[in-house]
Amino acid sequence: MPEHKRLRRLDIVWIEPPIYFVTVCAKDRRRILADAEVVSILRDELASARGRHGWSVGRYVAMPDHLHFFCASDETPDAASLSRFIGSFKEWSAKRMIAAGLRAPIWQKQFFDHLLRSDESYENKWTYVRENPVRAGLVAKQDDWPCAGEIDILKR
């Protein structure tokens, strides 16, 4: 699959605090992520984001071939950039998934991020994302999908 040119990330964001919606995809869209052991690894790594990288992670949904989550920088002097945070998350989670028996590479190189604008509701975006397993025909109702949850409460 050809890689797409990315727009440059904004240097300055005027929304306080900025909340990002992030999507990372498995390499070649392999269906490896919606597994109980893998979701446990992903959850652990997302939960460690605040301490390791200075980023709080809110809600997440792991689909078979991609992961959606919301995050916000803690704005501490040690907080990593979004790109560095995502790169480190991919590195650490991949190491653990490979140790659990998955073959490398785990992740695609790029990721998608969307800054929630002031008129966008985190709750509305979450409702849309939470319905992904239903739209994909994986479950009849969103509450039946076991690969979703919340780590930190993000508020704007």
- Going by CATH, does the domain composed of 20-150 fall within 2.60.120.460? no
Percent of the chain whose pLDDT exceeds 70: 87
Q: From CA 128, how far away is CA 123, in angstroms rounded? A: 9
What is the Cα 48 distance to its own chain's centre?
A: 13
| Residue 146: cis peptide before it, omega within 30 degrees of 0 | no
pLDDT at 12: 45
The residue among 114, 147, 156 whose CA lies nearest residue 39 is 147
What's the confidence (pLDDT) of residue 14? 46
Domain parsing of the chain, residue ranges: 20-150
Residue pLDDT, tens place only, 78-132: 778 999 999 999 999 999 999 999 999 999 999 999 989 876 788 889 999 999 9
